[in-house]
């Protein structure tokens, strides 16, 4: 029996988010999808409800979470590009609204650059982290700030640190670790599968696993 039935999704109209929404619907979850741009609204489907709003507007977060039991975010900077502190700002709103309505489960897609106390990053992961800070310093630091916010919260959070996402419907075998990333790519379909799996698993509760193709 599933722990949750209705899942709020942030970032579900993005490249990896499309795969997440598809996976949730295939597993018979009800999905409340936050959409900023009406032109990006997906076709009408059973069990899919569109909530129009801006993730940076706390009122939109409040509306999205009505009747929702858990949240998964695959939020990116988007097109046009959002403000570079969108990740921590969104998480602040989520934490506050979760407190108000007594929700707990929050699953977030992030990137390799995030550091935790458990890490023992190898050369590839260190190089990827340095590249992100050198080229995208504000948004990269903001993802670290997002992790710090969640790690100090009372939420039942999981942050997934993915390698480069391959936009493919093919599901591949994958590996996960809370210490280091040993591969450079992950199938978007496999990533979506892993994200949804976290709804029914406590294995990575309050942890930040890396994931990559086996």
What does the pLDDT profile of the chain (214 residues) look like in tens digits?
678 999 999 999 988 999 999 999 999 999 999 999 888 888 889 999 999 999 999 999 999 999 999 999 999 876 656 677 999 999 999 999 999 999 999 999 999 999 999 999 999 999 999 999 999 999 999 999 999 999 999 999 999 999 999 999 999 999 999 999 999 999 999 999 999 999 999 999 999 999 999 9
In a domain, 205, yes or no: yes
At 61, phi and psi to the nearest 5?
A: -60, -40
Compute the Cα dihedral for 138, 140, 146, 152 and give only its sign.
negative
- Domain with 121 in it: 6-213
Query: In terms of residues, how long is the chain?
Result: 214
In a domain, 1, yes or no: no
DSSP state of 41: P
pTM: 0.94
Provide the number of structural domains found in the chain: 1
Is-cis flag, bond preceding 4, omega within 30? no
How far apart CA 139 and CA 86 sit, in angstroms, is 8
CATH number for the domain spanning 62: value is: 3.40.50.720
Per-residue pLDDT at 37? 86
If one counts every other C-beta atom within 10 angstroms of the C-beta of residue 39, the result is 7
């Amino acid at each position: 029996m599933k722990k949750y039935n209705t899942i709020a999704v942030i970032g579900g109209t993005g490249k990896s988010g499309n795969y997440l929404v598809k996976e949730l619907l295939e597993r018979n979850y009800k999905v409340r999808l936050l959409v900023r741009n009406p032109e990006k609204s997906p076709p009408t489907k059973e069990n899919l409800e569109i909530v129009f709003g801006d993730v940076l507007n706390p009122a939109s977060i409040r509306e999205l979470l009505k009747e929702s039991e858990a949240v998964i975010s695959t939020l990116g900077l988007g097109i046009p590009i959002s403000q570079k502190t969108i990740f921590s700002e969104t998480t602040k709103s989520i934490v506050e609204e979760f407190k108000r309505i007594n929700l707990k489960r929050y699953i977030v897609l992030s990137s390799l650059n995030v550091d935790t106390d458990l890490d023992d990053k190898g050369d590839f992961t260190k190089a990827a982290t340095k590249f992100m800070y050198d080229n995208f310093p504000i948004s990269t630091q903001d993802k670290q700030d997002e992790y710090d916010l969640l790690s100090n919260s009372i939420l039942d959070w999981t942050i997934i640190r993915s390698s480069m996402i391959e936009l493919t419907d093919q599901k591949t075998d994958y590996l996960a670790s809370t210490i280091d990333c040993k591969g450079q790519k992950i199938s978007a379909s496999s990533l979506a599968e892993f994200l949804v799996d976290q709804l029914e698993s406590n294995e990575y509760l309050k942890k930040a696993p890396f994931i990559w193709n086996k």
